Amino acid sequence: MRQAGIRERASAALSIALAAAIVASPLAAQTPPGEAAFAARDFIRAAPLLRREAAAGSAQAMLHLGTMADLGLGAAQDAAAAFRWYLAAAGAGNVDAQFNVAVMLDAGAGRTREPRAAATWYARAAAQGHTRAQYNLGLLLAAGDGVPRNTRLARLWLNRAAQLLPAAAERAARLQPPADAGADPAAAPELASVLVVGPADARLGLFSWAAAPGAPGERFVLEIVTRPTAAHPRSRDVARIDTPATAITVPLAGPNDLAWRVRRTNRRTGSDAASAWQALDLGPAAAAPTALAQPTARVTLRHAPGDAGAIRLAGRLADALAEEGAWVDVRQAAAQNATKRTQVHFADATAAPLARRIAASLPGPDGLSALPAPFDTAASAPGEISVDIVGGPN
Amino acid sequence: MSAYQIRARALCMAMAVTLAQPATLAAQTAPDSIRVYFDTGSASVATSQQEALDRAARLFREGNPFVMIVAGTADRVGAPGVNLQLSVQRAAAVANGLAARGIPADRLQVVGRGISELPVETPQGVPEPENRVVEITWR
Protein backbone atom coordinates (compact mmCIF):
# COMPACT_ATOMS: atom_id res chain seq x y z
CA MET A 1 0.00 0.00 0.00
CA ARG A 2 2.68 2.37 1.14
CA GLN A 3 4.87 1.27 -1.73
CA ALA A 4 2.03 1.73 -4.13
CA GLY A 5 1.60 5.23 -2.75
CA ILE A 6 5.26 5.98 -3.32
CA ARG A 7 5.07 4.57 -6.81
CA GLU A 8 2.04 6.70 -7.51
CA ARG A 9 3.79 9.80 -6.27
CA ALA A 10 6.90 8.89 -8.25
CA SER A 11 4.89 8.34 -11.36
CA ALA A 12 3.03 11.58 -10.73
CA ALA A 13 6.37 13.35 -10.41
CA LEU A 14 7.50 11.71 -13.62
CA SER A 15 4.31 12.80 -15.36
CA ILE A 16 4.89 16.36 -14.21
CA ALA A 17 8.50 16.18 -15.42
CA LEU A 18 7.31 14.76 -18.74
CA ALA A 19 4.58 17.38 -19.02
CA ALA A 20 7.17 20.05 -18.28
CA ALA A 21 9.43 18.60 -20.96
CA ILE A 22 6.57 18.57 -23.45
CA VAL A 23 5.59 22.12 -22.58
CA ALA A 24 9.23 23.19 -22.83
CA SER A 25 9.57 21.91 -26.38
CA PRO A 26 8.48 24.80 -28.61
CA LEU A 27 6.37 22.68 -30.97
CA ALA A 28 4.43 20.97 -28.22
CA ALA A 29 3.95 24.27 -26.44
CA GLN A 30 2.15 25.59 -29.52
CA THR A 31 0.34 22.44 -30.67
CA PRO A 32 -2.31 20.91 -28.41
CA PRO A 33 -2.13 17.08 -28.31
CA GLY A 34 -5.30 16.55 -30.36
CA GLU A 35 -4.04 18.76 -33.16
CA ALA A 36 -0.65 17.03 -33.02
CA ALA A 37 -2.30 13.59 -33.29
CA PHE A 38 -4.40 14.87 -36.21
CA ALA A 39 -1.29 16.20 -37.95
CA ALA A 40 0.34 12.79 -37.44
CA ARG A 41 -2.77 11.23 -39.05
CA ASP A 42 -3.47 9.23 -35.89
CA PHE A 43 -7.18 9.90 -36.15
CA ILE A 44 -8.33 7.28 -33.63
CA ARG A 45 -6.16 8.88 -30.94
CA ALA A 46 -6.95 12.41 -32.16
CA ALA A 47 -10.74 12.12 -31.90
CA PRO A 48 -11.19 12.19 -28.08
CA LEU A 49 -8.36 14.71 -27.65
CA LEU A 50 -9.85 17.01 -30.27
CA ARG A 51 -13.28 16.72 -28.68
CA ARG A 52 -11.78 17.89 -25.39
CA GLU A 53 -9.98 20.77 -27.11
CA ALA A 54 -13.16 21.67 -28.98
CA ALA A 55 -15.12 21.68 -25.71
CA ALA A 56 -12.53 24.14 -24.38
CA GLY A 57 -13.30 26.41 -27.33
CA SER A 58 -10.61 25.53 -29.88
CA ALA A 59 -11.94 26.40 -33.33
CA GLN A 60 -9.03 24.53 -34.92
CA ALA A 61 -10.02 21.34 -33.08
CA MET A 62 -13.62 21.80 -34.28
CA LEU A 63 -12.37 22.19 -37.86
CA HIS A 64 -10.31 18.99 -37.59
CA LEU A 65 -13.30 17.08 -36.18
CA GLY A 66 -15.35 18.39 -39.09
CA THR A 67 -12.74 17.22 -41.59
CA MET A 68 -12.60 13.77 -39.97
CA ALA A 69 -16.39 13.39 -40.18
CA ASP A 70 -16.39 14.84 -43.69
CA LEU A 71 -13.79 12.39 -45.02
CA GLY A 72 -14.57 9.44 -42.76
CA LEU A 73 -11.19 9.48 -41.00
CA GLY A 74 -11.10 7.31 -37.88
CA ALA A 75 -14.87 6.83 -38.05
CA ALA A 76 -17.63 6.51 -40.62
CA GLN A 77 -18.25 9.40 -42.99
CA ASP A 78 -20.99 11.64 -41.60
CA ALA A 79 -21.91 14.74 -43.58
CA ALA A 80 -24.34 16.02 -40.95
CA ALA A 81 -21.72 15.77 -38.18
CA ALA A 82 -19.13 17.37 -40.47
CA PHE A 83 -21.47 20.28 -41.07
CA ARG A 84 -22.17 20.71 -37.34
CA TRP A 85 -18.43 20.80 -36.50
CA TYR A 86 -17.67 23.17 -39.36
CA LEU A 87 -20.52 25.42 -38.24
CA ALA A 88 -19.22 25.43 -34.66
CA ALA A 89 -15.68 26.26 -35.84
CA ALA A 90 -17.07 28.92 -38.20
CA GLY A 91 -18.98 30.58 -35.37
CA ALA A 92 -15.78 30.51 -33.30
CA GLY A 93 -14.08 32.51 -36.04
CA ASN A 94 -12.20 29.92 -38.13
CA VAL A 95 -12.13 31.24 -41.69
CA ASP A 96 -11.48 27.87 -43.35
CA ALA A 97 -14.48 26.44 -41.50
CA GLN A 98 -16.61 29.38 -42.61
CA PHE A 99 -15.61 28.55 -46.16
CA ASN A 100 -16.39 24.85 -45.65
CA VAL A 101 -19.84 25.67 -44.26
CA ALA A 102 -20.44 27.75 -47.39
CA VAL A 103 -19.21 24.95 -49.67
CA MET A 104 -21.47 22.35 -48.05
CA LEU A 105 -24.47 24.70 -48.27
CA ASP A 106 -23.52 25.57 -51.85
CA ALA A 107 -23.11 21.93 -52.92
CA GLY A 108 -25.97 20.52 -50.88
CA ALA A 109 -23.55 18.02 -49.35
CA GLY A 110 -25.63 15.75 -47.13
CA ARG A 111 -28.36 18.38 -46.95
CA THR A 112 -30.65 20.51 -49.07
CA ARG A 113 -28.75 23.03 -51.15
CA GLU A 114 -29.03 26.54 -49.65
CA PRO A 115 -27.33 29.02 -51.99
CA ARG A 116 -28.60 32.04 -50.08
CA ALA A 117 -26.98 30.91 -46.82
CA ALA A 118 -23.93 29.79 -48.80
CA ALA A 119 -23.54 33.32 -50.17
CA THR A 120 -23.62 34.77 -46.66
CA TRP A 121 -20.92 32.37 -45.41
CA TYR A 122 -18.79 32.93 -48.52
CA ALA A 123 -19.14 36.67 -47.92
CA ARG A 124 -17.95 36.32 -44.31
CA ALA A 125 -14.86 34.38 -45.38
CA ALA A 126 -14.36 36.67 -48.37
CA ALA A 127 -14.37 39.76 -46.13
CA GLN A 128 -11.41 38.24 -44.30
CA GLY A 129 -9.46 37.78 -47.52
CA HIS A 130 -10.23 34.10 -48.23
CA THR A 131 -9.57 34.07 -51.99
CA ARG A 132 -11.55 30.93 -52.84
CA ALA A 133 -14.52 32.38 -50.96
CA GLN A 134 -14.16 35.61 -52.94
CA TYR A 135 -14.09 33.60 -56.16
CA ASN A 136 -17.12 31.46 -55.27
CA LEU A 137 -19.08 34.50 -54.09
CA GLY A 138 -18.26 36.13 -57.44
CA LEU A 139 -19.66 33.07 -59.25
CA LEU A 140 -22.91 33.15 -57.20
CA LEU A 141 -23.30 36.88 -57.92
CA ALA A 142 -22.57 36.40 -61.64
CA ALA A 143 -25.21 33.67 -61.85
CA GLY A 144 -27.74 35.31 -59.50
CA ASP A 145 -27.66 32.09 -57.49
CA GLY A 146 -28.97 32.67 -53.96
CA VAL A 147 -28.29 36.41 -54.30
CA PRO A 148 -29.61 38.97 -56.77
CA ARG A 149 -27.59 38.76 -59.99
CA ASN A 150 -25.19 41.68 -59.86
CA THR A 151 -22.40 41.92 -62.41
CA ARG A 152 -20.67 44.85 -60.75
CA LEU A 153 -20.44 43.03 -57.45
CA ALA A 154 -19.45 39.77 -59.18
CA ARG A 155 -16.59 41.64 -60.85
CA LEU A 156 -15.57 43.28 -57.58
CA TRP A 157 -15.20 39.94 -55.74
CA LEU A 158 -13.63 38.13 -58.68
CA ASN A 159 -11.09 40.95 -59.03
CA ARG A 160 -10.23 40.68 -55.34
CA ALA A 161 -9.51 36.97 -55.84
CA ALA A 162 -7.67 37.62 -59.11
CA GLN A 163 -4.42 38.64 -57.44
CA LEU A 164 -3.92 35.04 -56.32
CA LEU A 165 -6.29 33.05 -58.56
CA PRO A 166 -5.63 33.42 -62.31
CA ALA A 167 -9.00 31.80 -63.07
CA ALA A 168 -10.76 34.65 -61.25
CA ALA A 169 -9.20 37.24 -63.58
CA GLU A 170 -10.32 35.21 -66.63
CA ARG A 171 -13.82 34.80 -65.21
CA ALA A 172 -14.08 38.53 -64.47
CA ALA A 173 -13.01 39.30 -68.05
CA ARG A 174 -15.75 36.99 -69.40
CA LEU A 175 -18.51 38.73 -67.41
CA GLN A 176 -21.17 40.28 -69.58
CA PRO A 177 -21.64 44.03 -69.10
CA PRO A 178 -24.34 44.68 -66.53
CA ALA A 179 -27.85 44.60 -67.92
CA ASP A 180 -29.78 47.66 -66.85
CA ALA A 181 -33.03 45.75 -66.96
CA GLY A 182 -34.12 44.91 -63.45
CA ALA A 183 -31.81 47.50 -61.92
CA ASP A 184 -33.52 49.19 -59.01
CA PRO A 185 -31.36 51.85 -57.40
CA ALA A 186 -34.08 52.57 -54.88
CA ALA A 187 -33.98 49.05 -53.43
CA ALA A 188 -32.38 48.76 -50.03
CA PRO A 189 -29.59 46.22 -49.42
CA GLU A 190 -30.88 42.71 -48.68
CA LEU A 191 -29.76 39.78 -46.55
CA ALA A 192 -27.91 42.07 -44.16
CA SER A 193 -26.37 39.89 -41.49
CA VAL A 194 -23.56 40.01 -38.98
CA LEU A 195 -21.52 37.35 -37.23
CA VAL A 196 -19.40 38.39 -34.25
CA VAL A 197 -16.30 36.28 -33.72
CA GLY A 198 -13.23 36.40 -31.52
CA PRO A 199 -12.58 36.80 -27.79
CA ALA A 200 -14.16 39.67 -25.85
CA ASP A 201 -10.98 41.78 -26.10
CA ALA A 202 -10.60 41.31 -29.86
CA ARG A 203 -14.10 41.04 -31.25
CA LEU A 204 -14.58 41.22 -34.97
CA GLY A 205 -17.92 41.83 -36.66
CA LEU A 206 -18.28 40.07 -40.04
CA PHE A 207 -20.91 42.16 -41.81
CA SER A 208 -22.38 41.08 -45.14
CA TRP A 209 -25.31 41.95 -47.38
CA ALA A 210 -26.47 41.69 -50.98
CA ALA A 211 -28.04 44.14 -53.40
CA ALA A 212 -29.84 44.15 -56.71
CA PRO A 213 -27.90 45.89 -59.49
CA GLY A 214 -28.08 49.66 -59.36
CA ALA A 215 -26.65 52.60 -61.26
CA PRO A 216 -22.89 53.06 -61.78
CA GLY A 217 -21.14 54.85 -58.94
CA GLU A 218 -23.08 53.30 -56.11
CA ARG A 219 -21.47 52.58 -52.75
CA PHE A 220 -22.50 51.06 -49.48
CA VAL A 221 -22.31 52.74 -46.09
CA LEU A 222 -22.27 50.55 -43.01
CA GLU A 223 -23.49 52.43 -39.95
CA ILE A 224 -22.99 51.17 -36.42
CA VAL A 225 -24.38 53.15 -33.48
CA THR A 226 -25.01 52.57 -29.83
CA ARG A 227 -28.62 51.70 -29.21
CA PRO A 228 -30.42 53.93 -26.73
CA THR A 229 -31.11 52.05 -23.50
CA ALA A 230 -32.44 53.08 -20.10
CA ALA A 231 -28.87 53.23 -18.78
CA HIS A 232 -27.42 54.98 -21.85
CA PRO A 233 -30.20 56.98 -23.49
CA ARG A 234 -27.99 58.59 -26.16
CA SER A 235 -27.20 56.95 -29.50
CA ARG A 236 -23.58 57.52 -30.45
CA ASP A 237 -21.94 56.80 -33.80
CA VAL A 238 -19.55 53.86 -33.47
CA ALA A 239 -18.59 53.48 -37.12
CA ARG A 240 -19.67 54.82 -40.48
CA ILE A 241 -17.81 52.95 -43.20
CA ASP A 242 -18.02 53.67 -46.91
CA THR A 243 -17.27 50.66 -49.13
CA PRO A 244 -17.97 49.43 -52.68
CA ALA A 245 -18.08 45.81 -51.38
CA THR A 246 -20.86 43.71 -49.83
CA ALA A 247 -18.92 42.31 -46.90
CA ILE A 248 -16.47 43.87 -44.47
CA THR A 249 -14.92 43.13 -41.10
CA VAL A 250 -15.11 45.71 -38.33
CA PRO A 251 -13.32 45.48 -34.96
CA LEU A 252 -15.94 45.91 -32.24
CA ALA A 253 -14.25 47.15 -29.11
CA GLY A 254 -16.83 49.51 -27.75
CA PRO A 255 -20.14 49.21 -25.95
CA ASN A 256 -22.35 46.13 -26.01
CA ASP A 257 -25.76 47.46 -27.06
CA LEU A 258 -25.38 48.33 -30.71
CA ALA A 259 -27.58 48.78 -33.74
CA TRP A 260 -26.46 48.68 -37.34
CA ARG A 261 -27.74 49.00 -40.86
CA VAL A 262 -26.35 49.30 -44.34
CA ARG A 263 -27.24 51.94 -46.91
CA ARG A 264 -26.91 51.85 -50.65
CA THR A 265 -25.97 55.31 -51.79
CA ASN A 266 -25.16 56.97 -55.05
CA ARG A 267 -23.73 60.46 -55.18
CA ARG A 268 -24.44 60.78 -58.91
CA THR A 269 -28.13 59.94 -58.73
CA GLY A 270 -28.70 61.16 -55.17
CA SER A 271 -30.38 57.87 -54.28
CA ASP A 272 -30.03 56.48 -50.80
CA ALA A 273 -31.80 53.38 -49.50
CA ALA A 274 -31.18 51.81 -46.11
CA SER A 275 -31.84 48.39 -44.64
CA ALA A 276 -33.75 48.35 -41.36
CA TRP A 277 -31.76 48.89 -38.16
CA GLN A 278 -30.81 45.61 -36.54
CA ALA A 279 -29.86 45.07 -32.93
CA LEU A 280 -26.35 43.82 -32.28
CA ASP A 281 -25.79 42.67 -28.70
CA LEU A 282 -22.23 41.93 -27.67
CA GLY A 283 -22.81 41.40 -23.96
CA PRO A 284 -22.17 38.05 -22.28
CA ALA A 285 -25.88 37.28 -22.26
CA ALA A 286 -26.47 38.42 -25.83
CA ALA A 287 -29.96 37.43 -26.85
CA ALA A 288 -30.96 36.29 -30.32
CA PRO A 289 -31.64 39.36 -32.44
CA THR A 290 -35.21 40.53 -32.17
CA ALA A 291 -37.09 43.04 -34.25
CA LEU A 292 -35.83 46.45 -33.28
CA ALA A 293 -38.12 49.48 -32.91
CA GLN A 294 -36.92 51.77 -35.69
CA PRO A 295 -36.02 55.35 -34.75
CA THR A 296 -38.37 58.10 -35.91
CA ALA A 297 -35.32 60.29 -36.64
CA ARG A 298 -31.63 60.59 -35.86
CA VAL A 299 -30.49 63.86 -34.37
CA THR A 300 -27.02 65.04 -33.39
CA LEU A 301 -26.81 68.00 -31.03
CA ARG A 302 -23.47 69.85 -30.83
CA HIS A 303 -22.27 72.42 -28.37
CA ALA A 304 -18.97 74.20 -27.75
CA PRO A 305 -16.81 73.08 -24.81
CA GLY A 306 -17.83 74.83 -21.59
CA ASP A 307 -20.99 76.41 -23.02
CA ALA A 308 -23.08 75.61 -19.96
CA GLY A 309 -26.30 77.08 -21.37
CA ALA A 310 -25.98 75.06 -24.60
CA ILE A 311 -25.20 71.89 -22.68
CA ARG A 312 -28.35 72.34 -20.57
CA LEU A 313 -30.47 73.08 -23.62
CA ALA A 314 -29.04 70.14 -25.56
CA GLY A 315 -29.83 67.81 -22.65
CA ARG A 316 -33.46 68.95 -22.49
CA LEU A 317 -33.91 68.83 -26.23
CA ALA A 318 -32.33 65.35 -26.40
CA ASP A 319 -34.71 64.03 -23.75
CA ALA A 320 -37.73 65.51 -25.54
CA LEU A 321 -36.66 64.05 -28.90
CA ALA A 322 -35.90 60.64 -27.40
CA GLU A 323 -39.39 60.73 -25.90
CA GLU A 324 -40.71 60.95 -29.49
CA GLY A 325 -38.70 57.88 -30.52
CA ALA A 326 -35.69 59.63 -32.05
CA TRP A 327 -32.13 58.40 -31.55
CA VAL A 328 -30.18 61.36 -30.26
CA ASP A 329 -26.49 62.00 -29.72
CA VAL A 330 -25.13 64.99 -27.80
CA ARG A 331 -21.58 65.86 -28.78
CA GLN A 332 -19.07 68.44 -27.80
CA ALA A 333 -17.74 70.18 -30.88
CA ALA A 334 -14.00 70.79 -31.06
CA ALA A 335 -13.32 74.40 -30.04
CA GLN A 336 -11.99 75.38 -33.46
CA ASN A 337 -15.05 73.84 -35.18
CA ALA A 338 -17.66 75.36 -32.90
CA THR A 339 -20.06 77.65 -34.74
CA LYS A 340 -20.86 81.12 -33.47
CA ARG A 341 -24.59 80.80 -33.83
CA THR A 342 -27.27 78.22 -33.37
CA GLN A 343 -28.20 76.42 -36.58
CA VAL A 344 -30.21 73.39 -37.71
CA HIS A 345 -29.39 71.28 -40.76
CA PHE A 346 -31.36 68.39 -42.20
CA ALA A 347 -30.19 65.80 -44.72
CA ASP A 348 -33.31 65.46 -46.86
CA ALA A 349 -37.00 66.22 -47.19
CA THR A 350 -38.06 63.44 -44.81
CA ALA A 351 -36.20 65.21 -42.01
CA ALA A 352 -37.47 68.71 -42.83
CA PRO A 353 -40.64 68.83 -40.67
CA LEU A 354 -38.87 67.74 -37.49
CA ALA A 355 -35.91 70.00 -38.28
CA ARG A 356 -38.28 72.98 -38.55
CA ARG A 357 -39.96 72.09 -35.25
CA ILE A 358 -36.54 71.89 -33.58
CA ALA A 359 -35.56 75.25 -35.09
CA ALA A 360 -38.79 76.83 -33.87
CA SER A 361 -38.20 75.56 -30.34
CA LEU A 362 -34.71 76.99 -30.08
CA PRO A 363 -34.00 80.52 -28.90
CA GLY A 364 -32.62 82.60 -31.76
CA PRO A 365 -32.31 86.37 -32.06
CA ASP A 366 -33.37 86.59 -35.69
CA GLY A 367 -35.97 83.83 -36.17
CA LEU A 368 -34.07 80.58 -36.61
CA SER A 369 -34.85 78.40 -39.63
CA ALA A 370 -33.74 74.89 -40.57
CA LEU A 371 -31.52 74.56 -43.63
CA PRO A 372 -30.95 71.64 -45.94
CA ALA A 373 -27.44 70.27 -45.51
CA PRO A 374 -25.24 69.73 -48.56
CA PHE A 375 -25.82 66.15 -49.70
CA ASP A 376 -22.99 63.95 -48.47
CA THR A 377 -23.68 60.22 -48.52
CA ALA A 378 -20.86 59.36 -46.16
CA ALA A 379 -21.49 62.13 -43.63
CA SER A 380 -25.26 62.11 -43.40
CA ALA A 381 -28.11 59.73 -44.06
CA PRO A 382 -31.73 60.38 -45.05
CA GLY A 383 -33.72 61.48 -42.03
CA GLU A 384 -30.71 62.83 -40.16
CA ILE A 385 -30.68 66.20 -38.48
CA SER A 386 -27.73 68.04 -36.99
CA VAL A 387 -28.09 70.95 -34.59
CA ASP A 388 -25.38 73.35 -33.40
CA ILE A 389 -26.43 75.05 -30.20
CA VAL A 390 -24.81 78.22 -28.94
CA GLY A 391 -25.85 79.49 -25.52
CA GLY A 392 -29.08 78.66 -23.76
CA PRO A 393 -31.17 79.26 -20.65
CA ASN A 394 -29.28 79.88 -17.44
CA MET B 1 -11.11 -20.49 -54.60
CA SER B 2 -13.00 -22.60 -52.08
CA ALA B 3 -16.70 -22.24 -51.48
CA TYR B 4 -15.88 -20.77 -48.08
CA GLN B 5 -13.59 -18.18 -49.61
CA ILE B 6 -16.24 -17.22 -52.14
CA ARG B 7 -18.86 -16.89 -49.40
CA ALA B 8 -16.48 -14.83 -47.26
CA ARG B 9 -15.72 -12.60 -50.21
CA ALA B 10 -19.40 -12.15 -51.02
CA LEU B 11 -20.00 -11.27 -47.38
CA CYS B 12 -17.21 -8.70 -47.46
CA MET B 13 -18.66 -7.16 -50.59
CA ALA B 14 -22.11 -7.05 -49.03
CA MET B 15 -20.63 -5.35 -45.98
CA ALA B 16 -18.80 -2.87 -48.14
CA VAL B 17 -22.07 -2.02 -49.85
CA THR B 18 -23.84 -1.60 -46.50
CA LEU B 19 -21.04 0.57 -45.15
CA ALA B 20 -20.99 2.69 -48.25
CA GLN B 21 -24.71 3.37 -48.07
CA PRO B 22 -24.79 6.27 -45.61
CA ALA B 23 -22.22 8.16 -47.65
CA THR B 24 -24.19 7.47 -50.83
CA LEU B 25 -27.38 8.70 -49.20
CA ALA B 26 -25.62 11.73 -47.79
CA ALA B 27 -24.26 12.62 -51.20
CA GLN B 28 -27.68 12.52 -52.84
CA THR B 29 -27.64 16.14 -53.85
CA ALA B 30 -23.88 16.73 -54.10
CA PRO B 31 -22.14 14.97 -56.98
CA ASP B 32 -19.32 12.64 -55.96
CA SER B 33 -17.42 13.19 -59.16
CA ILE B 34 -17.22 15.80 -61.88
CA ARG B 35 -16.17 15.13 -65.47
CA VAL B 36 -14.35 17.36 -67.88
CA TYR B 37 -14.62 16.27 -71.54
CA PHE B 38 -12.05 16.76 -74.31
CA ASP B 39 -12.03 16.91 -78.09
CA THR B 40 -10.34 14.11 -80.02
CA GLY B 41 -6.57 14.27 -79.60
CA SER B 42 -6.81 17.47 -77.54
CA ALA B 43 -5.51 18.08 -74.03
CA SER B 44 -6.71 21.64 -73.59
CA VAL B 45 -9.79 22.45 -71.52
CA ALA B 46 -12.45 23.96 -73.79
CA THR B 47 -14.27 27.11 -72.65
CA SER B 48 -17.46 25.05 -72.44
CA GLN B 49 -15.78 22.82 -69.87
CA GLN B 50 -14.47 25.65 -67.65
CA GLU B 51 -17.73 25.58 -65.76
CA ALA B 52 -17.06 21.98 -64.73
CA LEU B 53 -13.78 23.14 -63.18
CA ASP B 54 -15.66 25.87 -61.33
CA ARG B 55 -18.12 23.30 -60.01
CA ALA B 56 -15.30 21.08 -58.82
CA ALA B 57 -13.46 23.98 -57.18
CA ARG B 58 -16.71 24.96 -55.45
CA LEU B 59 -16.93 21.53 -53.82
CA PHE B 60 -13.40 21.25 -52.52
CA ARG B 61 -13.28 21.99 -48.82
CA GLU B 62 -10.42 23.47 -46.85
CA GLY B 63 -8.33 21.57 -44.32
CA ASN B 64 -5.78 18.79 -44.53
CA PRO B 65 -5.90 16.01 -45.60
CA PHE B 66 -8.42 16.74 -48.36
CA VAL B 67 -7.15 15.39 -51.68
CA MET B 68 -8.61 15.97 -55.11
CA ILE B 69 -7.92 13.14 -57.52
CA VAL B 70 -7.68 14.16 -61.15
CA ALA B 71 -7.70 11.09 -63.40
CA GLY B 72 -7.45 11.36 -67.20
CA THR B 73 -8.31 8.78 -69.83
CA ALA B 74 -8.27 8.62 -73.62
CA ASP B 75 -10.39 6.70 -76.11
CA ARG B 76 -9.04 3.72 -78.04
CA VAL B 77 -8.18 5.70 -81.17
CA GLY B 78 -4.42 5.66 -81.89
CA ALA B 79 -1.44 4.00 -80.24
CA PRO B 80 -1.76 3.08 -76.53
CA GLY B 81 1.50 4.91 -75.69
CA VAL B 82 0.25 8.12 -77.27
CA ASN B 83 -3.07 7.75 -75.46
CA LEU B 84 -1.36 7.30 -72.11
CA GLN B 85 0.60 10.49 -72.68
CA LEU B 86 -2.60 12.26 -73.78
CA SER B 87 -4.44 11.12 -70.65
CA VAL B 88 -1.62 12.49 -68.47
CA GLN B 89 -1.68 15.80 -70.35
CA ARG B 90 -5.45 16.03 -69.94
CA ALA B 91 -5.25 15.36 -66.22
CA ALA B 92 -2.44 17.94 -65.90
CA ALA B 93 -4.52 20.53 -67.79
CA VAL B 94 -7.43 20.00 -65.40
CA ALA B 95 -5.10 20.09 -62.38
CA ASN B 96 -3.71 23.41 -63.64
CA GLY B 97 -7.24 24.73 -63.98
CA LEU B 98 -8.03 23.67 -60.41
CA ALA B 99 -4.80 25.23 -59.11
CA ALA B 100 -5.78 28.45 -60.90
CA ARG B 101 -8.96 28.27 -58.82
CA GLY B 102 -7.05 28.10 -55.58
CA ILE B 103 -6.85 24.36 -54.94
CA PRO B 104 -3.36 23.93 -53.41
CA ALA B 105 -1.11 21.97 -55.77
CA ASP B 106 -0.09 19.59 -52.99
CA ARG B 107 -3.74 18.61 -52.57
CA LEU B 108 -4.01 17.48 -56.20
CA GLN B 109 -3.28 13.91 -57.19
CA VAL B 110 -2.82 13.70 -60.96
CA VAL B 111 -3.35 10.32 -62.60
CA GLY B 112 -3.05 9.36 -66.27
CA ARG B 113 -4.86 6.09 -66.96
CA GLY B 114 -4.36 5.92 -70.72
CA ILE B 115 -6.93 3.43 -71.97
CA SER B 116 -7.19 1.41 -68.76
CA GLU B 117 -10.29 1.66 -66.56
CA LEU B 118 -12.27 3.38 -69.32
CA PRO B 119 -15.74 4.68 -68.44
CA VAL B 120 -17.06 2.92 -71.58
CA GLU B 121 -15.30 -0.23 -72.84
CA THR B 122 -14.91 -0.19 -76.64
CA PRO B 123 -12.93 -2.13 -79.23
CA GLN B 124 -9.65 -0.62 -80.43
CA GLY B 125 -10.09 2.28 -82.87
CA VAL B 126 -13.56 3.37 -81.68
CA PRO B 127 -13.85 7.13 -80.95
CA GLU B 128 -15.82 7.42 -77.70
CA PRO B 129 -16.44 10.91 -76.25
CA GLU B 130 -17.18 9.45 -72.77
CA ASN B 131 -13.61 8.14 -72.69
CA ARG B 132 -11.95 11.44 -73.61
CA VAL B 133 -12.43 12.64 -70.09
CA VAL B 134 -10.83 13.70 -66.85
CA GLU B 135 -12.72 12.60 -63.77
CA ILE B 136 -12.37 14.71 -60.63
CA THR B 137 -13.09 13.01 -57.31
CA TRP B 138 -12.06 13.93 -53.77
CA ARG B 139 -11.52 12.28 -50.46
pLDDT the model gives residue A394: 65
* Average pLDDT rounded to a whole number, residues B88-96: 97
pLDDT the model gives residue A242: 93
pLDDT the model gives residue A351: 87
Size of interface A-B (CB pairs under 8 A): 89
CATH number of the domain that residue B94 is part of: 3.30.1330.60
B35 plus B48 within the same structural domain: yes
Confidence of residue B13 (pLDDT cuts 50, 70, 90): very low
**Domain extent for B10:** 1-30
Confidence of residue A320 (pLDDT cuts 50, 70, 90): very high
Number of domains in chain B: 2
Cα-atom radius of gyration of chain B, to the nearest Å? 17
Chain B residues with beta carbon closer than 8 angstroms to that of A103: 58-61
B90 plus B73 within the same structural domain: yes
B35 plus B58 within the same structural domain: yes
* Average pLDDT rounded to a whole number, residues A89-98: 96
B21 plus B80 within the same structural domain: no
* Nearest CB to B30; choose among A67, A72, A107: A107
Selected for mutation to probe chain A from B24, B51, B53, B62 (highest A CB count within 10 Å) is B62
* Average pLDDT rounded to a whole number, residues A24-50: 85
Structural domains of chain A sorted by starting position, each given as residue range(s) with its CATH number in brackets:
190-281 (2.60.40.10), 298-389 (3.30.70)
* Nearest CB to A100; choose among B26, B29, B62: B62
d(CA A207, CA A209): 7
pLDDT the model gives residue B40: 94
Which of A213, A389, A211, A200 shows the shortest CA–CA distance to A309?
A389
B53 plus B117 within the same structural domain: yes
Confidence of residue A230 (pLDDT cuts 50, 70, 90): confident
| pLDDT tens for each residue of B63-80 | 988 999 999 999 999 999
* CA atoms B41, B44, B49, B54: torsion sign: positive
B17 plus B49 within the same structural domain: no
Residue A213: pLDDT over 90? no
* Average pLDDT rounded to a whole number, residues A294-306: 92
DSSP tag of A291: P
| Cβ count within 10 A of residue B21 | 10
| pLDDT tens for each residue of A133-156 | 999 999 999 999 999 999 999 999
Contact assessment for residue A67 and residue A82, using Cβ atoms and an 8 Å cutoff: yes
